[in-house]
Amino acid sequence: MRGQAGFWDIDERYVRLSEAGDPLEKLNAVVPWEVFRKPLGKALKRSDGAKGGRPPYDPVMMFKIMVLQALYGLSDDQAEFQIQDRLSFMRFLGLGLGDRVPDAKTIWLFREHLTQAGAVDNLFARFDKHLGKAGYLAMGGQIVDATIVAAPKQRNTDAEKTDIKASTVPDEWKKKPTKLRQKDRDARWTVKFSKAKVAEEGKAQQRDIAIPAFGYKNHASIDRRHGFIRGWNVTSASAYDGAQLRNVLNRGNTGSTVWADTAYRSKKNEEWLEKNGYVSDIHQKKPKGRQMSEATSRANGRRSKTRAFVEHVFAQQKSRMGLFVRTIGIARARTKIGMANLAYNLTRFVWHEGRTASA
């Protein structure tokens, strides 16, 4: 039988992880984690320890656990297990083999404290400020879009659905507090339409499809120059995209042009953009009952080439990061989605810094 792993055995494993290109090591080396300490401390308001008890975990380390959850789509239980199991996670968090690992309940409580304090907005803004200092100013205009973030489906009766839409609690749920705590009254159903492309000559025309979805929406804008998320908001999945335009635009962008799909084009939005010094390059809608002109179609095609960059952001969040809202209520969903937006910016920052270093 082999003996227990010694110091040099673990050290050799870390070396091999580095040689294999551990992405978390790069993230640790590039991101200035200490910039988050002040907003974290303000949100948590830790006691001075005079009452005794076990000292709390370092808030920056706990915050990095939330980053891991956002990057790898981990639940609290999965995060606890993976930190125990993976050397790369332990090294990322600065934990040794003999150190205590936060359990799932501790992770949940930490995130809950941040949610109650509304801290995710300050954390996001703090890193955006660092991006500016590092030379990544919001430039080139803004690209706006929204994506549905799924949540666990609710199995409710028609009467319960009516009460929820009216912002009232069903009488049956009031009698069962435990059941009420498990019901998400903020998430909504919506239908996502996918229009089929025009079939090539000789091929069968595909049909348009409508896909029902339940959950929330991540409304976001990215700057065209660097591709960082600069503004965002969270609503239920049924919220109208166009109404969120002014809530996600970043006034600090040095460019004035705004790109978005037809959901954002309205007389009200166009007037607001012009009044606030923006230049609209939003997709034109097809005239009712008439064919779209060739010039408008070409213009929309040009816009699509630019607008596609924001789709790449959402694709990474959903495919690589496995973005999914497991929590209940829009306040917690905002923390979850806000952390996904922040985690995306962290990885984007590492990518930009890597390009600069290689150049």
Identify which of 192, 195, 191 has the alpha carbon closest to the alpha carbon of residue 208.
195
The CA distance from 111 to 171, in Å, is: 31
Residue 49 has pLDDT above 60, yes or no: no
Report helix angle 104-117 to 37-44, nearest 10: 90
Please tell me the predicted confidence (pLDDT) of residue 1. Answer: 40
Please tell me the predicted confidence (pLDDT) of residue 47. Answer: 47
Residue 155 has pLDDT above 90, yes or no: no
Alpha helical stretches, state H, the chain: 7-19, 23-30, 37-44, 59-72, 76-85, 87-93, 104-117, 119-133, 158-165, 171-174, 177-181, 245-248, 267-275, 294-315, 330-358
Considering the chain, what percentage of its residues have pLDDT values greater than 90? 73
* DSSP per residue, 128-156: HHHHHHTT----S-EEEEEEEEE-PPP--
Long-range contacts formed by 308-313: CB under 8 A, 24+ apart: 309/143, 309/222, 309/224, 309/227, 310/143, 310/144, 310/145, 310/220, 310/221, 310/222, 311/145, 312/227, 313/220, 313/222, 313/227, 313/229, 313/344
When pLDDT is averaged across residues 152-176 and rounded to a whole number, the result is 87
Please tell me the predicted confidence (pLDDT) of residue 9. Answer: 75
Please tell me the predicted confidence (pLDDT) of residue 4. Answer: 54
pLDDT-derived band of residue 137, with 50, 70 and 90 as boundaries? Answer: very high
pLDDT-derived band of residue 56, with 50, 70 and 90 as boundaries? Answer: confident
Higher-scoring residue by pLDDT: 14, 72: 72
Lowest-confidence range among 27-41, 50-64, 182-196, 280-294?
50-64
Please tell me the predicted confidence (pLDDT) of residue 124. Answer: 98
Mean pLDDT of the chain: 91
* Per-residue pLDDT tens over the stretch 57-98: 999 999 999 999 999 999 999 999 999 999 999 999 999 988
Higher-scoring residue by pLDDT: 31, 97: 31
Please tell me the predicted confidence (pLDDT) of residue 143. Answer: 98
The CA distance from 119 to 228, in Å, is: 20
* Per-residue pLDDT tens over the stretch 254-313: 999 999 999 999 999 999 999 999 999 999 988 888 888 999 999 999 999 999 999 999
When pLDDT is averaged across residues 123-148 and rounded to a whole number, the result is 97
* Per-residue pLDDT tens over the stretch 327-357: 999 999 999 999 999 999 999 999 999 987 6
Please tell me the predicted confidence (pLDDT) of residue 7. Answer: 52
Higher-scoring residue by pLDDT: 320, 204: 320
Residue 53 has pLDDT above 60, yes or no: no
Considering the chain, what percentage of its residues have pLDDT values greater than 70? 93
Please tell me the predicted confidence (pLDDT) of residue 206. Answer: 74
Residue 48 has pLDDT above 60, yes or no: no
62-89 in b/e form (b: 16+ CB < 10 A) is bbbbbbbbbbbbbebeebbebbeeeebb
Question: What's the pTM?
Answer: 0.91
When pLDDT is averaged across residues 37-56 and rounded to a whole number, the result is 73
The CA distance from 192 to 274, in Å, is: 30
HSE value, Cβ hemisphere, 13 Å, CA-based, for 310: 26
Please tell me the predicted confidence (pLDDT) of residue 359. Answer: 55
The CA distance from 342 to 321, in Å, is: 12
Please tell me the predicted confidence (pLDDT) of residue 282. Answer: 97
Residue 46 has pLDDT above 70, yes or no: no
Lowest-confidence range among 118-122, 197-201, 266-270, 312-316?
197-201
Please tell me the predicted confidence (pLDDT) of residue 6. Answer: 55
